[in-house]
Structure 1
Amino acid sequence: MIIFIANRFLKSRKNSSGFSIFSLIAILGIAVGVASLIIAINVLDGFDLTIREKVENLDSHIQIVGFSDLPINEKDSTDNRVKELIPNQLVHIDKYVSRLVIAGTKEIKEGVQLKGVGADYFRKKEGLKIIEGERNLRDNANFLLVGKTLANKLRVKIDEEIAIYSVGNNQYDIFSSNIEKMRVTGIFESGMAKFDDAYIYTNIDSAKMFLMFNEQVSGYEIKLKSLNNIDSIVNHLQNNLRYPNYVKSVFDSYKHIFNWIELQKKPIPLILGLIILVAVFNIISTLLMIILEKINSVGVLRSLGAKQYQIIIIFLLHGITIGAIGVLFGNFLAVGLSYLQNHYDIITLPGTVYFISKVPLIINLSTNILVSIITLALVLVVSIIPSIIAARISPLFIIRFK
């Protein structure tokens, strides 16, 4: 009987099959708040996971470089020492040479990072996809792989030549320079501006000759079987390799990105608090308006012998029903919008600013459940106040009110 009465209180006077306007406003307010919070969390989780995966697939898990960017002597056999130090965690270790150069044609020139790598480098990098030409980095061949964005800037195509100009090749003579023409054999795309706009790749032997590295390298890139305990692995390598080697993880290299994501997550409690505040006013005002609207019915129930606790239960059920419908609708709205974004890329982003070209959303069931439980618990608590007010109204007051 109590459930039936609570259900009747949800209905409009004019239309017994529809909700009252007060109930609809409260339901809509809760639904929008729940959907907004879930989508906000989904976006941040999506950014975190997507950028993490991109970085892991594009860059090495651990880098070993020289302090102050000084080259590392190959005779130190750093790669062999790494294999001895972490044999169970290591997938592969690759040496590379790298330096800032000027690349371009007669009309256009850009400052880029020239990186010399092994012939199989691109096969190991899942995130670097060749979209034109081939991943041809044969030994001692002046072949280049260029990012799509950079290729568009320089207006170069496959089999065309780019002039590479380098200054300060000799660490003892900063005015030494070199210039070389290299042929574009492939164009790659990663989706991250750091690579597509700022890197060109050539064979490591060609790069060493051009940059005058002799028996030196810029550093070593390490891929691990798992990123678990990566910090302890970095510390272990640093303690054993020591100066002049500097060991850093991928999270150190991209600390600014991950710090930015964590910074975006900090306002979530504030957002949740604002949503809670709106929900509190919605529920309390809705129940108070319904009490005024149904005051005659409350008087009749009290006259028929209904106890105060029964009136409280009726309005509590009413509040919980509004909250449950709002939470359910909010979840459907959040999941639906997230699905549309993931499949149709409705909202796009400038890749040069956000590192990715679309807004990624991760639909996490645990997030939906947590937000729903918190909202329903809040609705239950705030429904108590107007329910007690309704229960304490005396039949005599209702008659006078009427």
Structure 2
Amino acid sequence: MKFPLYFSRKIAFSKDNKNNLSRVIIFIGRLSVALGIIVSLITVSTGFGSKKAIKERLADFSGHITIKSTRSNSSYNTSVLDNQGLDIQKIKQIPDVESVQKYATVTGIMRNENSFAGIIFKGIGKDFDSLRFKKFLIEGTTPKVTEVGFNNSVTISQKIANDLHLKLKDSIVTVFSKADQKPIYRKFEIVGIYKTDIKMIDDQFVLGGINHVRKIQDMKANEMGGLDIFLKDINNIDKDFPEIEKFIGYKNYAEKATEKYPQINDWISIFDTNIALIIIIMLIVVVINIIMVLLILIIERTNSIGLLKTLGASNSQIRKTFINYTLIIMIPGLLYGNAIGIGLLLIQKFFGIIKLNPENYYVSTVPVDLNPLAITSISVGILIISGLALIIPSYLISKISPVKAIKYN
């Protein structure tokens, strides 16, 4: 075993540390490291967790990638998808694509004796994935659509249900308008109530049978207003997007889930800045504390440094000894910090103790993403950066004279 590592371990685990200033210094060093790890873990896990949870909510409602006609533009009344160049089978064969669902939308007004609400009626087909949507349901089910005839069942949001004082099995009249024609009235039965916590969705969307939209929009039986494409992993959306675009045709366009709501995407991007800022601040605090620990330990053990120099140890060996000594001091802080930080995050992940206002944060509880790579990177990163930061202050050792150091008391 090399001398610096051997001697640093000897002084680190020496019983003398329990009876002198080292005890307090070691405690301060370990405490700062533990707090830095805890804050960094919570920041990264909740920050990435929030980004992932919001993106997944957007995607699970309306697809990771949506294909629409260029004639639809930003209108909520979808135009018919152009079949020229559109190859749905090729899209389904892309390895990362999990499912593809047809839909069509039209705007309308739900009204009763008490109030009214402007809505976007999203017509779904028989390929609708009710299991994926189940996480949003708080009561009832989604409409059972067969695309044969008209299904008068709808699933509405909790927000719309509260505004119109509706509950399961209630009936509600919806008015749809057509250019140069009389309004079209439809009576629906409420079979389900959902909540996504995404205000732009909960305020507007109602799920019902696609044939109603086809009838209102004068679409043919096999025509659709768009396709919702669901991927196996939302993190692959940027990689898969160009592949999907190859099979959508020239008169259609593809859109990512986050692009539909740019204000949410802009808000999500702030997480990256906040995460980086907090980690940098905590890293600076940890490094400053560890440097102070090293300097105080050098001053406290001036006699030992003088003795080592007298016995022939070089300045480089002694510097490495004290850097190793300080890093060894940090290890219990790393372990305790990870244990406490991961413990707190697991409690939040499984019990959702800390709640949020979904109108401001788009989620009702603080989400947690326990990424092993991120957790490991935080600990290893702090250890490496601290080690590098200790190199310059360790040169104080070369200024210590062996004769004066041995006399130092």
Query: TM-score category by the smaller chain?
Result: 0.7 to 0.9
Q: Kindly report which structure 2 residues correspond to 1:128-147, keeping only aligned pairs within 5 A, or say none.
A: 129-137=136-144, 139-147=149-157
Residue 25 to residue 92, structure 1, CA distance change in 2 (3 Å): closer
Residue 376 to residue 86, structure 1, CA distance change in 2 (3 Å): closer
Name the aligned partner's letter for residue 59 of structure 1: S
The answer as to 2:183 corresponding to 1:177 is: yes
Q: Quote the residue 2:67 is aligned against.
A: 63
C-alpha contact (below 8 Å) 1:7/1:318 kept by paired residues? no
C-alpha contact (below 8 Å) 1:237/1:247 kept by paired residues? no
Instruction: Tell me which moved more, 56-65 or 256-265.
Output: 256-265
Residue 64 to residue 8, structure 1, CA distance change in 2 (3 Å): same
Q: Quote the residue 2:210 is aligned against.
A: 204
The answer as to 2:292 corresponding to 1:288 is: no
**Whole-Å separation in 2 of the counterparts to 1:52 and 1:149:** 21
CA drift of 1:30 comes to 1.8
Residue 104 to residue 12, structure 1, CA distance change in 2 (3 Å): farther
Q: Quote the residue 1:160 is aligned against.
A: 170
SS of corresponding position for 2:246: helix
Q: Quote the residue 1:232 is aligned against.
A: 242
Q: Quote the residue 2:395 is aligned against.
A: 388
CA drift of 1:156 comes to 0.9
Name the aligned partner's letter for residue 379 of structure 2: S
Q: Quote the residue 1:88 is aligned against.
A: 93
SS of corresponding position for 2:327: helix
Residue 27 to residue 144, structure 1, CA distance change in 2 (3 Å): same
Q: Quote the residue 2:284 is aligned against.
A: 277
**Whole-Å separation in 1 of the counterparts to 2:19 and 2:398:** 22
The answer as to 2:227 corresponding to 1:221 is: yes
* Paired residues, number: 389
Q: Quote the residue 1:4 is aligned against.
A: 10
Q: What TM-score results when the alignment is normalised by the length of structure 1?
A: 0.81
**Whole-Å separation in 1 of the counterparts to 2:189 and 2:296:** 77
Q: Quote the residue 2:329 is aligned against.
A: 322
The answer as to 2:376 corresponding to 1:337 is: no
Deviations 1:174-202 (CA, angstroms, capped at 9, x unpaired): x8534443221222344544444421122
Deviations 1:35-59 (CA, angstroms, capped at 9, x unpaired): 2222222123222333343333322
**Whole-Å separation in 1 of the counterparts to 2:228 and 2:141:** 24
Name the aligned partner's letter for residue 211 of structure 2: D
Deviations 1:88-124 (CA, angstroms, capped at 9, x unpaired): 2376654433223222332232222122222553536
Q: Quote the residue 1:54 is aligned against.
A: 57
Structure 2: gaps spanning 5 or more residues: 1-5
Deviations 1:290-340 (CA, angstroms, capped at 9, x unpaired): 333333454555566665455334422321112222222222222112111
**Whole-Å separation in 2 of the counterparts to 1:115 and 1:132:** 19
Percent identical pairs in the alignment equals 24
Residue 195 to residue 125, structure 1, CA distance change in 2 (3 Å): farther
Q: Kindly report which structure 2 residues correspond to 1:94-105, keeping only aligned pairs within 5 A, or say none.
A: 94-105=101-112
Residue 256 to residue 328, structure 1, CA distance change in 2 (3 Å): same
**Whole-Å separation in 2 of the counterparts to 1:145 and 1:327:** 50
Q: Quote the residue 1:33 is aligned against.
A: 36
The answer as to 2:366 corresponding to 1:366 is: no
Name the aligned partner's letter for residue 233 of structure 1: E
Q: Quote the residue 1:24 is aligned against.
A: 27
Name the aligned partner's letter for residue 276 of structure 1: L
Q: Quote the residue 2:3 is aligned against.
A: none
Name the aligned partner's letter for residue 174 of structure 2: I
Structure 1: gaps spanning 5 or more residues: none
Name the aligned partner's letter for residue 193 of structure 2: I
C-alpha contact (below 8 Å) 1:308/1:392 kept by paired residues? no
